[in-house]
Amino acid sequence: MQSSDTHGQWSSKMAFIFAAVGSAVGLGNIWRFPYMAGENGGGAFVLVYIGFVLLIGVPVLMAELTLGRRGKMSPITTIRNVAKASGSSRRWGWVGHLASLGGGLGLLSFYSVIAGWVLAYIIKAASGVFAAGFGAADAAAVLDAHYADTSSMVFWHFIFIAMTVYIVGRGINAGLEKAVTFLMPMLFLLLLVLVGYSMATGEFIMAVKYLFVPNFSELTGGAVLDAVGQAFFSLSLGLGTMVAYGAYLPKDVSIHRSAALIAGADTIIALIAGMAIFPLVFAFGLDPASGPDLIFKTLPIAFAQMPGGSIFGTMFFVLLGIAAITSSISMLEPAVSYFEERQDMNRWKSAIFGGGVAFTVGLASVFSQGELKEFYPLAAFGIEMNFFAINDFIVSNLIMPIASLLLAVFVGWFVTRDSMREEMGLPEGGIFEIWHVLIKYFCPAAIALILIWGLA
Ligand code: PFF
């Protein structure tokens, strides 16, 4: 069975753009970007991140979309077929395995844990927990209660995976398409409201300085690896997602324009999230480097002090949950489309199987929010990371860059130049030439150097 019958619903150019932006914009922008920037000292990280988005992210995004449209199958089969058509080895398909099975399901396993956290916060916000007088200490207490309640975390993790499986299993229908078209702009507006609030009440200037004035002495190898990992994470690269979405891209849609739009929207939303969160971090004397719970420590305080804060808070977490769903379906899709093609499994079985794997693996990440928060399985090697952090590191800082590096080498050196150019619908020279030089030389070299430097 071909996977094209599953995505046929992306009915127009707009629908594709929303699907792709929906995939890119998610927890990565609002939850992960601010705490990554905070852990890595702010400005220099942000600058390097933006550089990576432009010089590595956009070219790799174009490569993934072009490959997808060329091959029109699941990422694994697409890579194999394109390799064959270019006279290269079908073994390149293994890059697809690494990306869509290891990376996609690996990411979903812990992404769902954070998304479950968001769902739990919808209930808290709606039940008026973030009410007047709620301060930093209360936010910390609510968080501690959340960490202590393992069964509730397992429950929400399960619910989120179940929702993802349901949508992917049914195929992405016109309802979701419409919903996304309406809800993504809503999320954007709500973020602007939050920035407005932070500007009025928080340490706005301090935050601007923190995020935009680089202090390069803070820039370690680890920070640079985090920045490249964050660029891949945020643009949904290195897991086959954009190959899968590109497979259903109408011929007349411009790939380079789409890539610019997706990357632009994604980056702007991450920066706005930073501008909403850091003024509060400084105003309430919180530690910017406090890690994955940063937004859960800060935003509830803001909601508590706003008029109508329960409503805003509830809306915000609902929209964030939706942003997470439009991303999580795109993590599961590449693996599901492959199972469907290969193993005579139908779509439902494929989705349930993939979701089941992600749920099970994700339990380790659930426990490392609670009882195993300070359990470091690799402590013997001097690595102080819990399961959750290790899982995130392997997917974001290893699989995403390595799969993207291999993909860049594949596209730059092993796929005929003309087939890519024709698929992009570009003339020789100009944009195509710049892209080709970046993907053939710059991206592989830069990613390899960053990996070596970052890991050393
Ligand atoms: N880009 C998504 C986010 O920022 O939340 C996460 C993501 C989705 C990463 C899909 C990778 C992927 F294939």
For the chain, give every domain's residue range: 4-455
Does 357 sit in the ligand 1 pocket, CB within 6 Å? no
Q: Is 239 in the pocket of ligand 1 (CB under 6 A)?
A: yes
Span 428-435, mean pLDDT?
96
For residue 346, what pLDDT is reported?
Answer: 87
* pTM, to two decimals: 0.93
Pocket residue to mutate for ligand 1, from 230, 325, 331, most atoms within 8 A of Cβ: 331
Give nearest CA residue, ligand 1 atom 11. Answer: 236
Predicted pLDDT at 6: 45
- The alpha carbon of 173 and the centre of ligand 1 are apart by a number of angstroms equal to 20
CA 22 to chain centre: 10
User: Relative to the CA of 330, which ligand 1 atom is closest?
Assistant: 10
Q: Ligand 1 within 6 A of 26 CB?
A: yes
Contact 6, 243 (CB under 8 A): no
CA 371 to chain centre: 26
| Predicted pLDDT at 176 | 62
pLDDT band at 347 (very low <50, low <70, confident <90, very high): confident
326 pocket-lining for ligand 1 (C-beta < 6 Å): no
| CA within 13 Å, CB half, 139 | 22
23 lines ligand 1 (CB under 6 A): yes
pLDDT over 90 at 454, yes or no: no
Each residue's pLDDT tens digit, 229-254: 999 999 999 999 999 999 888 888 99
Q: Three-state DSSP class for 130?
A: coil
Asked if residues 248 and 8 have their Cβ atoms less than 8 Å apart, the reply is yes
CA of 219 to the centre of ligand 1 (A): 25
- DSSP type of residue 428: S
The CATH code for residues 4-455 is: 1.10.4160
